[in-house]
């Protein structure tokens, strides 16, 4: 299984919006509404931001939103804040009854 494809890096200025893409196939992202997004500041464990493509767990600000079109899922962060600087990972359930993660995207807030 190859990792889902994410851009290695994205950047934005405080207050702006950025979108991170996550591309897979019909056997994972495109075939199921089970895409998740995680945020991982350096040296910490990942934190769940989005599950089921677009649902936010309690406590996650509504600045974070998820969507999906075909085999590509997206995470949009609006109103960028300096504390959003971290690595972001997508994941998806697969037809092999497993979970596949993306390679990760480093978000830099300029």
Nearer to another protein, 3 or 10 (CB): 3
Quote the DSSP letter at residue 57.
Answer: P
Q: Is 63 helix (H, G, I), strand (E, B) or coil?
A: coil
Size (the chain), residues: 110
Quote the DSSP letter at residue 30.
Answer: G
Distance CA 61, CA 64 (A): 6
Nearer to another protein, 58 or 82 (CB): 58
Q: Residue 16 CB, nearest distance to another protein (Å)?
A: 25
Which residues of this chain interact with another protein, rule CB under 8 A? 1, 3, 34, 36, 38, 45-48, 51-52, 57, 89, 91-93, 96-104
Q: How far is CA 35 from the centre of its chain?
A: 8
Q: Residue 87 CB, nearest distance to another protein (Å)?
A: 9
Nearest CA among 66, 70, 104, 102 for reference residue 88: 104
Q: Residue 106 CB, nearest distance to another protein (Å)?
A: 11
Nearer to another protein, 13 or 86 (CB): 86
């Amino acid at each position: 299984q190859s990792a889902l494809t994410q851009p290695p890096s994205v950047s934005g200025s405080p207050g702006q919006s950025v979108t991170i893409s996550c591309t897979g196939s019909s056997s994972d992202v495109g075939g199921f509404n089970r895409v998740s997004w995680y945020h991982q500041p350096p040296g910490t464990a990942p934190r769940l931001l989005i599950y089921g493509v677009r649902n936010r767990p309690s406590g996650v600000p509504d600045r974070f939103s998820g969507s999906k079109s075909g085999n590509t899922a997206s995470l949009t962060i609006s109103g960028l804040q300096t504390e959003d600087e971290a690595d972001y990972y997508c994941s998806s359930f697969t037809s092999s009854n497993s979970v596949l993660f993306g390679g990760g995207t480093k978000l830099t807030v300029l």
